[in-house]
């Protein structure tokens, strides 16, 4: 929990820093050479992984565009959106302010404008950073260009419309903060689509944009193979498949009833599939289904590829803390023949936990960094004890954790903000002869059932799809020989 608290505290400090006025002037360091615009140092820290979409994109744009002369002006375009956006201008102004705050000594223009207008309002600014904003297929996309401002009359005659000196691009799925500027979505309008599959007993299913084409792929994990497929014209079309024997060797002590999980192109590992079963262990593979590296355990859904849980064959469940998935120790130089230096692997250090689950032993786990409408971040984790008791915990910055216990839940669990209203949903299955998918909202310390989809056959796997259609996330499930898409 200490690591979680530290991560959330950093996010709050960043958010507080963002709240400062964009035009607040800071002391300008003295120039080391001839007078002129002083380049503001670009950000050196990596964009925060556990933060709102606007905050992450502002970091990425500031990094990508590089040093910008002090006194620059940031102007955003109107938002081009494929879904209704009644507060699009307010969104554009907020994004411009966030980017200006991360560039350094820059000022944000108070309203969106076309590039020609932006050149005109740049006036005596040192330079112009122009942002083109777009919302497409559930993603917020920002294209940034750094233009010089021509204030000298002779230079305006020679080159009245200079081209950009730097360029950057970033995109991120919509979250509750961005959705607050768009038309709201009602959870009760959620629909269910069913597609047949022929993969037999599926252990896990994941969903994401694996190839970066803007469309979502499904990854199905069975005991025999891994399959990448797409839904086209109401059918599941297999694109690639690989036998487990070509990906990873068998675990020395597999579980009788296997556990499995899969993440498709998570935020910190674009283009990769992080997956694992208790038959084979955890492993990262690429889009061609070729193994890349071993993981410390099975990836936790919602953990963005950073969090792994360790299964225990003796207990028949997961055991202990959630730890980083990657623990590759840097090689240590050693003296080789003839005095040449060789690199010998070091023994990896004992991993520090990313977070401590509410219980030590559990057979299902999911986590979520829930983004509020104000851009705040709350860490939520749900674990199911082998007895069927579900424990749900929410940790907000500066507040005591909230824990809720649910009895009689099924062995599948997912966390997602389905309608992007800032209150996340807990998705579970039923524990009993009549299975089904239950969608409940988790708000103000209470869990309230909102939707139920009965199933005639057991629900074998649950996964979460990032925003795509109508700009909202979805839930994908395997029920018998069908794949269900809830969106």
Q: Give 128-141 pLDDT, tens digit per residue.
A: 999 999 999 999 99
Dump pLDDT digits (tens) for 461-474. Answer: 999 999 987 899 99
C-alpha to C-alpha distance for 441 and 350, rounded to whole angstroms: 37
Question: Regarding predicted confidence, which is higher, 210 or 104?
Answer: 210
Q: Which CATH number fits domain 2-15+40-179: 3.30.450, 2.60.40, 3.40.50, 1.20.120?
A: 3.40.50
**What is the β-pairing status of strands 307-309 and 332-335?**
unpaired
C-alpha to C-alpha distance for 126 and 34, rounded to whole angstroms: 15
Closest CA to 289 of 240, 253, 334: 240
Instruction: Report the pLDDT value the prediction gives residue 155, as an integer from 0 to 100.
Output: 54
C-alpha to C-alpha distance for 141 and 179, rounded to whole angstroms: 14
Dump pLDDT digits (tens) for 112-129. Answer: 999 999 998 998 899 999
Dump pLDDT digits (tens) for 346-386. Answer: 555 667 899 999 999 999 999 999 999 999 999 999 999 99
Q: Please give the share of the chain, as a percent, with pLDDT higher than 90.
A: 73
Q: What is the mean pLDDT of residues 293-322?
A: 95
190 is written with which tokens? 């959620």
204 is written with which tokens? 């896990």
Q: H or E element: which one contains 89?
A: helix 88-103
Instruction: Report the pLDDT value the prediction gives residue 352, as an integer from 0 to 100.
Output: 87
Dump pLDDT digits (tens) for 43-73. Answer: 445 556 679 999 999 999 999 999 999 999 9
181 is written with which tokens? 């500027």
Q: What is the mean pLDDT of residues 96-103?
A: 96
Contacts 24+ apart (CB under 8 A), 234-243: 234/193, 234/195, 235/195, 235/196, 236/195, 236/196, 236/197, 236/483, 240/287, 240/288, 240/289, 241/289, 242/289
Instruction: Report the pLDDT value the prediction gives residue 343, as an integer from 0 to 100.
Output: 46
Tokens 């009833």 belong to 257
C-alpha to C-alpha distance for 377 and 367, rounded to whole angstroms: 13
For residue 65, what are the contacts with CB-CB under 8 A and spacing of at least 6? 42, 103, 129, 144, 146, 166, 167, 168
Does residue 39 surpass a pLDDT of 50? no
Measured from the Cβ of residue 395, the count of other Cβ atoms closer than 10 Å reads: 19
244 is written with which tokens? 């487990």
Instruction: Report the pLDDT value the prediction gives residue 37, as an integer from 0 to 100.
Output: 43
Does residue 97 surpass a pLDDT of 50? yes
Q: Please give the share of the chain, as a percent, with pLDDT higher than 70.
A: 83
Tokens 């620059």 belong to 72
Half-sphere exposure of 428 (CA within 13 A, CB side): 27
Does residue 480 surpass a pLDDT of 50? yes
For residue 407, what are the contacts with CB-CB under 8 A and spacing of at least 6? 388, 389, 390
367 is written with which tokens? 């986590």
Does residue 430 surpass a pLDDT of 60? yes
Distance set, CA 365 to CA 259, 389, 424 (Å): 11, 12, 16
Question: Regarding predicted confidence, which is higher, 182 or 342?
Answer: 182
Helices (H), 331-432: none
Chain centre to alpha carbon of residue 26:
33
Closest CA to 404 of 392, 394, 389: 392
Chain centre to alpha carbon of residue 9:
19
C-alpha to C-alpha distance for 467 and 174, rounded to whole angstroms: 7
DSSP output for 341-370: EEEEPPPPPPPPPSB--SSSEESEEEEEEE
205 is written with which tokens? 């299913």
Dump pLDDT digits (tens) for 389-413. Answer: 999 999 998 899 999 999 999 999 9
Helices (H), 140-237: 153-158, 176-179
The whole-model pTM stands at 0.84
Instruction: Report the pLDDT value the prediction gives residue 435, as an integer from 0 to 100.
Output: 92
Of the candidate ranges 16-30, 89-103, 296-310, the one whose mean pLDDT is the lowest: 16-30
Vertex 86 angle, CA 85 and 92, to 5°: 70
Average predicted confidence (pLDDT) for the chain: 86
193 is written with which tokens? 């689509």
Q: What is the mean pLDDT of residues 218-226?
A: 97
58 phi and psi angles, rounded to 5 deg? -60, -40
Chain centre to alpha carbon of residue 246:
29
Where do the domains of the chain lie? Answer: 2-15+40-179, 187-486
Instruction: Report the pLDDT value the prediction gives residue 407, as an integer from 0 to 100.
Output: 94
33 is written with which tokens? 């050479």
Q: What is the mean pLDDT of residues 422-447?
A: 92
Beta bridge partners of 172: 140
Q: What is the mean pLDDT of residues 415-425?
A: 96
Does residue 455 surpass a pLDDT of 90? yes
Q: Which CATH number fits domain 187-486: 2.30.30, 2.130.10, 3.30.70, 2.60.40?
A: 2.130.10
Instruction: Report the pLDDT value the prediction gives residue 118, as an integer from 0 to 100.
Output: 95
Instruction: Report the pLDDT value the prediction gives residue 33, as an integer from 0 to 100.
Output: 33
Dump pLDDT digits (tens) for 4-27. Answer: 443 433 343 344 444 443 333 333
């Amino acid at each position: 929990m200490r690591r979680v608290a530290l991560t959330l505290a950093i996010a709050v400090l960043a958010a507080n820093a963002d709240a400062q006025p964009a035009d607040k002037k800071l002391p300008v360091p003295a120039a080391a050479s001839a007078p002129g615009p002083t380049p503001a140092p670009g950000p050196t820290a990596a964009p925060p992984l556990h933060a709102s979409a606007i905050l992450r994109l502002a970091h990425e744009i500031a990094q990508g565009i590089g040093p910008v002369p002090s006194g620059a002006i940031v102007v955003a375009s109107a938002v081009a959106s494929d879904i209704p956006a009644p507060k699009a201008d307010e969104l554009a102004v907020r994004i411009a302010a966030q980017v200006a705050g991360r560039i350094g000594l820059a000022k944000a223009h108070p309203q969106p404008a076309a590039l020609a207008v932006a050149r005109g309002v740049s006036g005596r600014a040192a330079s112009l950073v122009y942002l083109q904003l777009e919302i497409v297929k559930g993603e917020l996309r920002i294209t940034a260009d750094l233009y010089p401002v021509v204030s000298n009359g002779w230079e305006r005659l020679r080159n009245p419309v200079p081209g950009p000196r730097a360029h950057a691009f970033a995109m991120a799925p919509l979250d509750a903060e961005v959705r607050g500027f768009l038309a709201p979505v009602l959870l009760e309008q959620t629909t269910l689509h069913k597609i047949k599959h022929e993969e037999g007993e599926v252990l896990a299913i994941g969903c994401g944009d694996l190839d970066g084409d803007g469309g979502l792929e499904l990854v199905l994990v069975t005991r025999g193979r891994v399959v990448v497929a797409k839904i086209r014209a109401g059918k599941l079309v297999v694109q690639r498949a690989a036998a487990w024997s070509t990906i990873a060797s068998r675990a020395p002590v597999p579980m009788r009833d296997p556990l499995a999980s899969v993440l498709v192109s998570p935020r910190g590992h674009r283009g990769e599939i992080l997956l694992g079963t208790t038959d084979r262990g955890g492993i990262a593979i690429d889009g061609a289904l070729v193994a890349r590296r071993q993981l410390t355990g099975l990836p936790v859904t919602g953990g963005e590829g950073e969090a792994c849980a360790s299964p225990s064959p003796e207990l028949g469940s997961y055991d202990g803390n959630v730890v980083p998935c990657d623990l590759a120790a840097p090689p240590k130089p050693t003296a080789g023949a003839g005095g040449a230096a060789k690199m010998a692997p070091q023994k990896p250090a004992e991993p520090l936990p990313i977070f401590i689950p509410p219980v030590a032993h559990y057979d299902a786990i999911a986590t979520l960094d829930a983004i509020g409408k104000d851009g705040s971040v709350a860490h939520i984790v749900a674990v199911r004890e082998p007895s069927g008791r579900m424990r749900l915990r929410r940790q907000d910055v500066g507040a005591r954790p909230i824990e809720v216990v649910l009895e009689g839940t099924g062995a599948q669990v997912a966390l997602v903000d389905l309608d992007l209203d800032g209150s996340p949903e807990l998705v579970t299955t039923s524990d009993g002869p009549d299975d089904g998918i239950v969608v409940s909202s988790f708000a103000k310390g209470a869990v309230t059932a909102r939707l139920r989809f009965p199933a005639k056959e057991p629900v074998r796997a649950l996964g979460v799809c990032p925003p795509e259609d109508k700009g909202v996330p979805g839930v994908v499930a395997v029920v018998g020989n069908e794949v269900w898409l809830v969106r």
